[in-house]
Structure 1
Amino acid sequence: MKAFNRIFSAVTVAIILLFAVVNMILAADKTDGSRQYRVEISRLVHEIETNGSADISECVYVTNIERYGEKFYSTDSDYVIYEINGELYRFDYNINGYSNKTYFMGIVNAILGVIAILFIAVMLYIKYAILAPFERLSNLPYEFSKGNLTAPVTETKNRFFGKFLWGIDVLRENIEQQKQRELEMQKEKKMLLLSLSHDIKTPLSAIKLYSAALSKNLYPDTEKQHKIAESITEKVDEIEGYVSQIITASREDFLSLEVNMGEFYLSELIEKITGYYREKLVLIKTDFNVGKYKNCLLSGDLSRSIEVLQNIMENALKYGDGRRVELIFSEDGECVQIAVTNGGCTLGKDDLPHIFESFWRGANAENIGGSGLGLYICRQLMRKMNGEIFAEIDNGIITVTAVFARA
């Protein structure tokens, strides 16, 4: 904004200087009526000397010509007297016509004033309608990076930034909610670990006591020793149960995947996917074929459904041979299936049942970056939308199918 203010000040000074220079030039111009009327009179004198008369119909300054006699003249106009061919002629003139310098200067200054007002109005509009709202946003990324998410972003009716400000505020709320959920999850996870750790101590203490007793032959009776061994096995099973809970908590609860259930048309979903991937696949020279489908209303979250298909498409591009990707549609009375197929699959059939597990990566992904969460997230989202996802391999072609419920 400071740079704009400097530009605005410089332009204002330039306009003032322009006014001053133009007025100085006009004021210094000597070719005004006080000189031009003499030129006209000289021309008329020459005509009278030559022809004995002169035509003043096209004259700007001279208003009348007549022989100068002894009669008394009463007039408000200026005049001069010339002797022509031995006779005196009176030339009446007026320099206050439309060519008057003051009138002309007024017109020029009025035009310059209108231009200056319009220019200043445009500059002020840019300042308050575009730059001022943008300046209010300039510190938001920095504040977000520091975690300052509590202050709302005020929505305005600005035609340029109104929707943008609304989007920024929605983003802030989502980040804040995600932060709160993460804190709650961390708290719950810590409480769970503390609880499980405390519960594990009891069977561990019992096992320790049983082991010490056995090592010291405190139970010489064989039957008693068998009972102690069974007790140790029970305590080990109990510990395994606690460990399983810890593993489950660490694997299944690390993501908070919210779904806003609603209704959307199949065409909306496909247009979003094809709109993004057509150009991308053309650039990498991969054929992209979208099969025929009948538009219908689906149940679920449109944003999450787009996320699911994008994850499947990215996997097809990442692990396929890059020759062809195809969307195939099938439907029945209750659901619509969208299958993404690609060739060049090197995944083993034994690995296929595990591709929807979290953090699992097949042998074909050793040299390819990834987290092993894409298809896991897809399955979680599809199930929350009352749908399903599955995969199959046939002759090197893998097909991942997302099943959407009809509305």
Structure 2
Amino acid sequence: MSIKKVTFLAAAILFFGISVILFVFRSLTETGTDVVAVNDITQTIVEHWDTLDQSALPGRQYSLEYTVLDSHGELVGATRRGLSENIDSAIYNRDTIVDITRNDTVLGKVIFYNNTTERWKHHRDKLLVIFGVNIIFIILFCLIYAVYIDRSIFRPFRKLQAFARHVAEGKLDMPLEMEKGNGFGAFAESFDLMREELAKARENERLANQSKKELVASLSHDIKTPVASIKAVSEVMILNSVIEEDISQLEVINAKADQINTLITNMFSATLEELQELTVTVTEESSVLLGDLIKNVDYNNRATISPIPECIVLVDMLRLLQVIDNIISNSYKYAGTSIGVLANIKGQYLEIEFKDYGRGVSPEEIPLLFNKFYRARNSAGKSGTGLGLYISQYLMDKMSGDINCRNIDGGFVVILRLHIA
């Protein structure tokens, strides 16, 4: 049944109920005294006035109750006790008063009893019953109508609301279920088709990203082999060469090979991290080894390393080497100055500061430096992918450490915090 039909039916029922109530009210005015009977009784009383006897009052066949008074208002007779016996009580009870006349002489009065109170009570009780039945019926119909509206309109919308929430949360495997014959069937079907298309699009996107990551990881791994060969050959040629100019050029080749190797390592590591294949194995290591670690990546010998306090730190030496290599490479690339390395123990951490004397970065860019693929404005014209600091922060987190940076007077500093065992 459509909503229009149900609404029309509800209006018809309400109209019927109101009509019944109005009819009952109208029927209250249709009761009155039988004029023919009153005239007949009055005429009979006139004819038998001189011999009138209470036991033989006329007109009993009309079922009318009345009282007869003489011209002085004295009671002559009554059909039963309890009726009005004077004019005042008759007026109070709204009885019908008729004069008894003969030859234009008033012999007395007949007071016909009008049971107005009883009739009103009867009609009132009848009206209350009809009104109560109508109200109950209308309430029941409204309840049924409310259940129908809830089932046909509000419940489907609640399902649509829950469905939209699931789609927003990414739960695209939960179909939108609608009851058979629901008026919103086509509407709901369109939403479910949208969910299926979104699920297909998300799966295609996931497969494309997976394929891209696997391709980058494969290419990165394949490129590292020839770069390693170039580096090895250049190192051999440097050892065998005696001409200073050749040695200088070979060192440039070696340095560029290192740079390419660093970029490839960053790309490969970022891809592996997204593939959840990048492992960090934390072990207890002596801080004494950190000095040699820094020297190994400082191939331009620009770092001045202050004494490092002896302690045991929790690190993965291979991953820490990757982090320090990225810090020093960035200093070479963006500052091009000497590097000061200072270490101190602060609480449960060994802090190592790498300070250069370049221009640094703008303050508003510092919180963004560790975002993936973000490159500061001072990187214009310089090679890079924006992955180095992102990977470094990821590795430090895995080693229960931290990395941050800030501008200082006359330079820029990067701080590593290694957890002490």
TM value normalised by structure 1: 0.38
Q: Which structure has the larger Rg over C-alpha atoms?
A: 2
TM value normalised by structure 2: 0.36
